[in-house]
Amino acid sequence: MTPLTKAIRAKRISNTPPYLFAEIDRKKAAAIEKGIDLISFGIGDPDLPTPKHIVDAMHAAIDDAKTHDYPPYEGTKEFREAVAVWMYKRFGVSIDPVKEAMALIGSKEAIAHIHTALVDKDDVCLIPSPSYPVYRVATIFSEGIPYNMPLKEANGFLPDLKKIPADVLAKAKLIWVNYPNNPTGAVCDLSFYEELVVFAKKNNIIICSDNAYSEMTYDGFVAPSILQVPGAKDVAIEFLSLSKAYNMTGWRLGMAVGNEELIAALGIVKTNTDSGQFKAIQKAGAVALTAPQDSIREMNAIYQKRRDAMVYGLNSLGWNIQPIKGTFYIWAKVPPRFKSSADFCGHVLDETGVVLVPGNGYGDEGEGYFRAAITVSVEKIEEGIRRLKEKSITFK
């Protein structure tokens, strides 16, 4: 019993739904308790190790006592210069490493903090549905108003900008986009970004582009950066991450690049909230960005095989899924005989021990879908498909 009589939780967190994976973890624990051997297509965390040359750079960096003190708030000069070199080599985009780049403690913190920096009470944030849950929750934490932009399969999971009402646009402060996309696996090409920059300038809206999966693409597709659009830097900030590109999720390193005033605003929140990422990690990150990028090709070849196994497997059970061109997520429809995403994913877990994520966890438009992450081996994927087949879990 708590001796406190006042409400403990601030209003801003009182209505926050439990984090999506908390409920899934509870169900997983119950299944393990029953002795079920799980195959998890749940959380999007790479199962492969960080490439050796990056780990080796970390070993050397940590032995150097000069890395042990507080880092500069905006990131080390070495890391930000590596970001600038990488942005140029990778996208042909020139950025000033001093004013237009900032190191992040993983991109998630900045994706949340940018709302603190930009959003006042009752400002509207245009948020895709389905999407990574942080955009919506961080909008609410800043007392802004999330406006759902439905991502429809018929439109390639791109938002239809023309459908956003004028009164919403008048109050809109920023728009989120994320391609290659979590959870749908959709990609966009540069022409979408061109259209978006025109839209943002016309309506006076800031573009926040989450490019966490920029390097994870297949079939020769190369994901663009919004900063490749001439003039994008007037209105856009882009969040990039070493997590997925170099299997470094636990290291917590990412970068924000783009408009210098947006970077400076983010910097005000960050200097008053955190004290930067460990210099040794930034040294290893600089190596990741500037060394030959073979590890990315090798990793994508592995994911592409897994993607093929998952798509082939589900299609053999009656689904009609097109192979994704980016991310490590398969986004598929729940069979019509189930009443909801949660109903289907619960049934699959109970019957087979296969963990899938219900699509409604990514927003209302995700209802009727599930997400399967290909962060396990081809053998495990085939085993998962076999288990579905054994229990007659087919699309029709």
Ligand X SMILES: *Cc1c(COP(=O)(O)O)cnc(C)c1O
Amino acid in position 101:
A
Burial of 374 (0-12, 13-18, 19+ CB in 10 A): buried
Give the residue with the Cβ less far from ligand X, 233 or 244: 244
Q: Is 285 in the site for ligand X (CB under 6 A)?
A: no
**Sites for ligand X among residues 313-342 (CB under 6 A):** none
Contact between 279 and 103 (Cβ < 8 Å): no
Looking at 40, 241, 295, 375, which residue binds ligand X (CB under 6 A)? 241
Are 79 and 286 a contacting pair, CB within 8 Å? yes
Is residue 359 involved in binding ligand X (CB under 6 A)? Answer: no
Q: How far apart are CA 249 and CA 252, in angstroms?
A: 6
Nearest CB to ligand X, comparing residues 186 and 206: 186
Task: Note if the bond before 17 is cis, omega within 30 degrees.
Answer: no
Q: Given the rule CB under 6 A, which of 26-34, 103-111, 228-236, 316-324 is the region that contacts ligand X?
A: 103-111
Minimum separation from the CB atom of position 248 to ligand X (A): 8
Q: Is 157 in the site for ligand X (CB under 6 A)?
A: no
Of 31 and 175, the one with the shorter C-beta distance to ligand X is 175
Binders of ligand X among residues 44 to 73 (CB under 6 A) are 44
Q: Is 182 in the site for ligand X (CB under 6 A)?
A: yes
358 Cβ partners below 8 Å, 6+ apart?
A: 340, 341, 342, 344, 345, 366, 370
Instruction: Specify whether the CB–CB gap between 129 and 366 falls below 8 A.
Output: yes
Contact criterion met (CB below 8 Å) for 31 and 353:
yes
- Applying CB under 6 A, the site for ligand X has a residue count of 15
Q: Does 361 bind ligand X (CB under 6 A)?
A: no
Q: Residue 123: left if φ>0, alpha if ψ -120 to 50, beta else—which one? A: beta
Interface with ligand X by CB under 6 A: which range of 47-55, 105-113, 190-198, 219-227?
A: 105-113
Enumerate residues 197-216 that contact ligand X by CB under 6 A.
210, 212
Q: How far is the CB of 126 from ligand X (least distance, A)?
A: 16
Q: Which of 243, 295, 341, 352 binds ligand X (CB under 6 A)?
A: 243
**Which CB sits closer to ligand X, 355 or 385?**
355
Footprint on this chain of ligand X (rule: CB under 6 A): 44, 106-108, 111, 132, 178, 182, 210, 212, 241, 243-244, 249, 254
